[in-house]
Amino acid sequence: DVVLTQSPLSLPVTLGQAASISCRSTQRLENSDGITRLSWFHQRPGQSPRRLISQVSNRDSGVPDRFSGSGSGTDFTLIISRVEAEDVGVYYCMQYRHWPHTFGQGTKLEIK
Amino acid sequence: EVQLLESGGGLVQPGGSLRLSCAASGLTINNYWMSWIRQAPGKGLEWVAHLQPDGSATWYVDSVKGRFTISRDNAKNSLHLQMNSLRVEDTALYYCTTGGVQWGQGTLVIVSS
C-alpha cells in the first residue's frame, strides 16, 4: 500500500502567521493521464472531514484562497498563508492514484 | 443541498453483523463514485470500500475483504455496507462519501463483547 507521511504531526501557529504541512508518498501519484491524485482534507473537532484541495492544487468551491497546495511526484505541501481561528483541527493528505486509497496520519493545527 | 445520512450503526459482539445505510438527497448516487471511509476513536481516516458509478466494480481495503460488501440501491438512492464477521478492530465511525468529496456525519459501530 502507498504510505503517506505527514510532517509535522503537531503544528502550533500564531494567528495571522503562515503554516505549512508536508506530505511525502512512497510511490508516485501521477496517473498516465497526467493528473496527480493527491487531495487535502480538514477535519474540525467533532465534525466530518471536508475536502479542501484535489489534484494537488485545485481548491474546492468555497475554500478560502489562503489555502494552497503544491508539489509533484512524491512530495506535496499544503500552505495556509494567514492562519485564522477557524483553521484549527486536523489536516490529512490523501492519495487516490493507487488502491487502496490511503491517508496520511494527520497534522493537528492549534493556535498558540 | 447535498445530504448523506448514515444509519445502522450500533453495538455488536465480535463475529456479528451489521448493515449500514446511507440515504442520499440532492444528488443521484449512481452518477458518483461512492465510498465508505472509517475513523477509529481518536485515530485517522481509513478508506474501507469503493463502488464505481455504474456498479461494475468494487474495491475493499485488505482488512475487510471477504467480510464487507458495498452495494447500492438506485431506486432508493441509497448506499449500503454489509459487515459480517465483525472484529473489535472494526470499531469506528463510518462515513458515507461521494469519493471523498461530500461526507455524511457518520454512524458509529462498536464491536465489543
B47-81: buried (b, 16+ CB within 10 Å) or exposed (e) per residue?
bbbbbebeeeeebbbeebeeebebebeeeebbbbb
pLDDT band at B94 (very low <50, low <70, confident <90, very high): very high
pLDDT band at A7 (very low <50, low <70, confident <90, very high): very high
Nearest to A48 among B59, B62, B103 (CB): B103
Note the Cα A93 to chain centre separation in Å.
4
Yes or no, beta carbons of A96 and B101 under 8 Å apart:
no
The answer, yes or no, to whether residue A39 has pLDDT greater than 90, is yes
The predicted pLDDT at position B50 comes to 93
Yes or no, beta carbons of B44 and A92 under 8 Å apart:
yes
The predicted pLDDT at position B55 comes to 78
pLDDT band at B54 (very low <50, low <70, confident <90, very high): confident
The one-letter code for the residue type at B44 is G
* DSSP code, position A32: T
What is the nearest CA distance from B46 to chain A, expressed in angstroms?
A: 7
Q: Which three cell numbers stand for residue A84?
A: 485564522
pLDDT tens digits for A55-72? 999 999 999 999 999 999
Q: Mean per-residue pLDDT for B87-109? A: 96
Q: Mean per-residue pLDDT for B85-91? A: 98
Q: Which three cell numbers stand for residue A109?
A: 493545527
Cα separation of A93 and B1, whole Å?
26
Q: Report yes or no: B7 and B107 within 8 Å, Cβ to Cβ.
A: yes
The predicted pLDDT at position A9 comes to 98
pLDDT band at A44 (very low <50, low <70, confident <90, very high): very high
Cα separation of B103 and B3, whole Å?
8
Yes or no, beta carbons of B100 and A94 under 8 Å apart:
yes
Q: Which three cell numbers stand for residue A18?
A: 503562515
Cα separation of A10 and B19, whole Å?
36
The predicted pLDDT at position A52 comes to 98
pLDDT band at B57 (very low <50, low <70, confident <90, very high): confident
The one-letter code for the residue type at A93 is C
- Minimal-distance CA residue of chain B relative to A47: B105
Which chain B residues are closer than 8 Å to A39 by Cβ?
100
Which chain A residues are closer than 8 Å to B104 by Cβ?
48
- Edge-to-edge strands of the sheet including B107-111? B10-12, B107-111, B92-97, B34-39, B45-51, B58-60
pLDDT band at B56 (very low <50, low <70, confident <90, very high): confident
The predicted pLDDT at position A14 comes to 97
Q: Which three cell numbers stand for residue B27?
A: 444528488
Instruction: Check if A82 contacts B (Cβ < 8 Å).
Output: no
How confident is the prediction for chain B on average, in pLDDT?
A: 95
Yes or no, beta carbons of B45 and A101 under 8 Å apart:
no
The answer, yes or no, to whether residue A98 has pLDDT greater than 90, is yes
Q: Report yes or no: B49 and B81 within 8 Å, Cβ to Cβ.
A: yes
The answer, yes or no, to whether residue A37 has pLDDT greater than 90, is yes
Instruction: Check if A89 contacts B (Cβ < 8 Å).
Output: no
Cα separation of A11 and A109, whole Å?
5
The predicted pLDDT at position A49 comes to 97
Yes or no, beta carbons of B47 and A92 under 8 Å apart:
no
Q: Which residues pair with B68 in a beta bridge?
A: B83
Yes or no, beta carbons of B50 and A41 under 8 Å apart:
no
- What's the half-sphere exposure (Cβ side, CA atoms, 13 Å) at A13? 26
